[in-house]
Amino acid sequence: MTDDKPTASDVDSASTHSLLRAEHHIIRLTFWQTILSVVGVVIAVLALYAALTESAAVRQQTAAAVWPFVQLMVENYDTGDTAGFSLAFTNAGVGPARMQDVRVSIDGNVTRNWSELVASVDGDSGAAINRSFISDRVLRPDETVIIFSTMDADLARKLVGAVSKPRGALTFCYCSIFDECWLADSRKDLQAPELVEACPDFGSETYLN
């Protein structure tokens, strides 16, 4: 009569086979979990990149919609009998412009107010003039502010020659509502102001009024 009971070696072999199969399943499960994790990370990175790109595009569009562009306007007329002169700023952009400091110099000498401006060209201190402040002012789109004007013929003619290059230099800085700032200099191309991180502080050289 044959004994069909499994031997110890048979039991060990069966146990080993079961362990190998279980280990194989675990490895396969871990592999697919790793793949799914990697795919999840890639999808998350792509979604984040898309969100950041869209956010940057929206910000650029918004900034363009409120872009200011401040221009310096020097106007004069001379009919022989009469003459006039004006110095003004106008916002030709589509958004408000926050004006910062303005610096005016004639022949290398900084003028901080209208009386010093008149004196710099040996003008009559009693001449009739109009003036307005510009620093720390907000210019609306299409708004123009005349900071200095006169219809005194003698003074007007002197100022026309003084503010022309290379004698005159007017530097000004302005910012948008998003704190993007531009620095312009009358001795350079006023159609292409320099984009700066922040407007400079002219301190005691700031033109007041």
CA distances from 114 to 6, 75, 143 (A): 114, 17, 22
Domain ranges for the chain: 7-64, 70-205
CA distances from 100 to 7, 47, 134 (A): 96, 40, 8
137, 145 in Cβ contact below 8 A? yes
CATH class given for the domain over 70-205: mainly beta
The DSSP-derived string for 129-174 is EEE---TT-EEPTT-EEEEEEE--HHHHHHHHHHHSTTTEEEEEEE
pLDDT tens digits, residue range 52-93?
666 555 555 664 688 999 999 999 999 999 999 999 999 999
205, 110 in Cβ contact below 8 A? yes
Residue 111 reports pLDDT greater than 60: yes
**CA dist., res. 160 & res. 144, Å (int):** 20
**Mean per-residue pLDDT over the chain, rounded:** 83
Name the pLDDT band for 11 (thresholds 50, 70, 90). very low
Report the pLDDT averaged over residues 152-157: 94
Residue 8 reports pLDDT greater than 60: no
Q: Is the peptide bond before 96 cis (omega within 30 degrees of 0)?
A: no
89: β partners: 72, 145
pLDDT at 23 (0 to 100):
59
**CA dist., res. 4 & res. 82, Å (int):** 132
